[in-house]
Copies of this chain bind each other. A is one copy, B any other.
């Protein structure tokens, strides 16, 4: 678990480092600050369980087992990337790991997860679907349509709303009549909880129950996970300088860093000694370095490949 959180964090930090060189030409929406959510949820999932994700999807993909080398190659527009350079940072997919795809259309991914869950029921398998989405997706009609259908048909879906209080620069209070998203979701007659999205253990346990419930045919569950994004909506910079959000708000949330909190817990409880943590960090750095080398050294697609894969 700690390894995974570290991987997501360090992967994104590497993107921050590399991006200014201007050769990763794809808009990046960084997951830094949200790590506990993807980690806590996905560690409960089987390889063949489904995940649908959004524009801020790197964390979900790594947590669901995708290869950082192929992800980074994709960001660089390389032929070796997950989508042969056609998707980029906002569009990752991996059928082998159950990743249905990341949609950069707000709210676009919810119905996909519901549909995969419908397929699971029709096929009589036990696969569970998770939809990851932001508080922005709650604004959309597809939120309502997806929750209603999933609950109506008692489908094995877990809705995971990563409420970071902003959609681009728009605060939740400028968009939602009810700031309590979990409560809104209750209207669809499914269990609905709101948890601290920066506490990986809580997320993990809540998700475990929800996923078990789904797998045993009892229907969908809604989880609102409150968290905060550290970086700008898009790109490697921080946006508080530009006046997008109050600095104090960010500072408060940085104090509640999900990685740090989990690290301290592990140390306090003597689960993992500091030395092993350092070793893990080193290992992750190595993996990422390797991914960077792989990505940078990979060939670009050739122009004629444009015409492939349309049908």
| Chain A residues within CB distance 8 Å of chain B | 139-145, 147-152, 174-178, 183-190
CB-CB nearest in chain B for A146: B141
Main SS of the interface on chain A? helix
B141 near A177 with CB under 8 A, answer no
A175 surroundings in chain B (CB, below 8 A): 148, 152
A147 surroundings in chain B (CB, below 8 A): 177
Indicate how many identical chains form the complex.
2
A186 surroundings in chain B (CB, below 8 A): 187
Task: Taking A141-B145, A143-B144, A184-B187 as given, write out 11 further A-B residue pairs in contact, using a Cβ cutoff of 8 Å, ordered by the A residue number.
Answer: A140-B145, A141-B143, A141-B144, A144-B144, A148-B176, A148-B178, A152-B174, A152-B175, A178-B188, A183-B187, A185-B187
Q: Within the assembled complex, what's the spacing in Å between the Cα atoms of A152 and B177?
A: 4
Give A136 Cβ to nearest chain B Cβ, in Å. 13
A189 surroundings in chain B (CB, below 8 A): 177-178
Q: Within the assembled complex, what's the spacing in Å between the Cα atoms of A175 and B175?
A: 27
A to B CB contacts below 8 Å, 29 in the list: A139-B145, A139-B148, A140-B141, A140-B145, A141-B141, A141-B142, A141-B143, A141-B145, A143-B144, A144-B144, A147-B177, A148-B175, A148-B177, A148-B178, A149-B177, A151-B177, A151-B178, A152-B174, A152-B176, A152-B177, A177-B188, A178-B187, A178-B189, A183-B187, A184-B187, A184-B188, A185-B187, A186-B187, A187-B187
Q: Within the assembled complex, what's the spacing in Å between the Cα atoms of A188 and B152?
A: 20
A140 surroundings in chain B (CB, below 8 A): 141, 145
Give A56 Cβ to nearest chain B Cβ, in Å. 22
A187 surroundings in chain B (CB, below 8 A): 178, 183-187
A141 surroundings in chain B (CB, below 8 A): 140-145
CB-CB nearest in chain B for A144: B144
Give A306 Cβ to nearest chain B Cβ, in Å. 34
Q: Within the assembled complex, what's the spacing in Å between the Cα atoms of A96 and B149?
A: 40
Q: Within the assembled complex, what's the spacing in Å between the Cα atoms of A146 and B178?
A: 13
Q: Within the assembled complex, what's the spacing in Å between the Cα atoms of A188 and B180?
A: 10
